[in-house]
Structure 1
Amino acid sequence: MDLEHLIIEYGYLAIFIGTFLEGETIVVLGGIAAHMGLLDLPFVALTAFLGSFMGDQLFFQIGRIGGKHLLATRPVWQERIDYIDELLHHYRSWLILTFRFYYGLRNIIPFALGTMTVSFKQFFTLNFIGAIIWAIILSSLGYLFGQAFEVFLEKYQLPAIMIIVLVLAFILYIIKRQTKKKIIHKIEMEHHHTDHHDNTDDNKPH
């Protein structure tokens, strides 16, 4: 079975599984495959929406049911949870709506929100809307990417797709790594400021 038949046969399943777990790259590739005529763009977006929405609803429920216990066994997660809690305090609805675009925190945010004071109804509604926006944007970007490199894709189909996968994976890795560094730096600076403030208070005469 050649690559075209594999994409036609299992493309939507791959998109669903990929987006259930995370899946930015697989959605863009689905958009490229749609431009090549191997998949349908509306179904690529629909599948990406379903996978992302259902996956994040599951992680949110895990946070609600067993989040406190998991955090007790993994204290290293607590710093990120505290940072997300701070974001939630300032940008509640916006955070829930757009968390899919927060590289470095994308996987942990639904779980973290499940451990906090976010209602099921609020998360369900904003997660639903956010998943639609995310799926349409990324699948459309893939389709436009396919248009921009149409001649290259048609002439060197398999090598072109492999190169695109590697390039996208590398770009996303760099973005996530840099974002993670910035988040960790911000958390460390906040903790340093908090510790300095506490020490200053302790040194004040009573």
Structure 2
Amino acid sequence: MDHFESWKDLLNPEFYIKMGGFWLILFIIFAETGLFVGFFLPGDSLLFVSGIYAVEIMKETFGGTGSDLLDTTILATAISIAAIIGNEVGYWFGYKAGPALYKKEDTFLFKKKYLFQAHDFFEQHGRLAVIMARFLPIVRTFTPIVAGIVKMDKKEFFVDNVVGAVLWSFILVFAGHYLDKLFIDQFGIDLKSHLEMIILVIVVITTAPIIIKFFFGGKKEEKDSE
């Protein structure tokens, strides 16, 4: 079992997998949206790396099924459920106490600007925002809260929540598992030996839309206002 050594470990999905395995993975996925302070936790990279370790995770937790496909499916399904519950809690929090967040002062674990970013994203994309936000760090943490604040229909939110959670979980977990097998079989490359580079690539890809919006969206708005 790994032990906490530095703050860098908090951003390393492999650390969580080796430290707490299956149950810690589920808690982190829940916390990313169920607890608004979880925005700094690894999401996309955790799912991808979990897919790489899917068989080992299921074997250590339940003894495994003997089938790569079944082990990976069970893991992705469990993660989907954790993600669904997390979003529902986030929605409930926004529905009950969300407006007060706009008056809350910034802290180390809470930045009001993220709430406004999620609100703009929700206003721009409507119901699709709940599904799309799953693939965007930070935004996925605050979008369900905003959905609760604006009193989005509960049934519609639940449907979009389920669709987004299943797509996000299955795409990333299965991509991690089968890309690892592909690289080993075709190129003799074990992705476990290159996790730092993989995590960096995933972070760049998933944060690119937010960075582009931040640098170029503002300029577009300025031009439109002229």
> Could you tell me the TM-score, scaled by structure 2's length?
0.67
Matching residue's letter, 2:133: F
Superposition map of 1:112-151 within 5 A: 112-150=146-184, 151=188
1:21 and 2:31 are equivalent in the alignment: yes
2:124 — aligned with what? 87
- Alpha-carbon separation, structure 1, partners of 2:104 and 2:220: 24
Pick closer, same or farther for the CA change 1:179–1:143 going to 2, 3 Å: same
Closer, same or farther: CA 188–116 of 1 in aligned 2, 3 Å: same
Question: How does 1:37-186 map onto structure 2 within 5 Å?
Answer: 38=59, 40-74=71-105, 76-77=113-114, 79-88=116-125, 92-150=126-184, 151-153=188-190, 161=192, 163-164=194-195, 166-186=196-216
How far, CA to CA, are the matches of 2:21 and 2:141 in structure 1? 23
Residues 104, 176 of structure 1: 8 Å contact kept? no
Higher helix share: 1
Q: What is the one-letter code of the residue matched to 2:121? A: I
| Cα contact 1:56–1:110 (8 A) shared by 2 | yes
Report the TM-score when normalising by structure 1.
Answer: 0.73
Which structure has the larger Rg over C-alpha atoms?
1
Paired with 1:192 and 1:161, the residues of 2 have a C-alpha distance of 45
Between the aligned residues of both structures, percent identity stands at 19
Amino acid across the alignment from 2:167: I
Aligned Cα RMSD in Å? 3.0
**Pairing 1:34–2:54 present:** yes
CA distance in 2, matches of 1:7, 1:66: 33
- 1:14-68 per-residue CA deviation (whole Å, 9 max, x = no partner) reads 3202322342222212211235684611221112101211111111111111111
Relative distance call for 1:96 and 1:105 in structure 2 (3 A) is same
1:123 Cα deviation after fit:
0.7
Deviation, structure 1 residue 70: 0.6
How many residues align structurally? 183
AA partner of residue 13 (structure 1)? W
Asked whether the equivalents of residues 88 and 144 of structure 2 are also in contact (C-alpha less than 8 Å), the reply is yes
Taking CA–CA contacts closer than 8 Å with sequence separation of 6 or more, which of the two structures ends up with the larger relative contact order? 1
Runs (5+) with no aligned partner, structure 1: 154-159, 197-206
Distance in 1 of aligned mates of 2:217 and 2:116: 7
Q: Which runs of 5+ in 2 are unaligned?
A: 3-15, 33-42, 65-70, 106-111
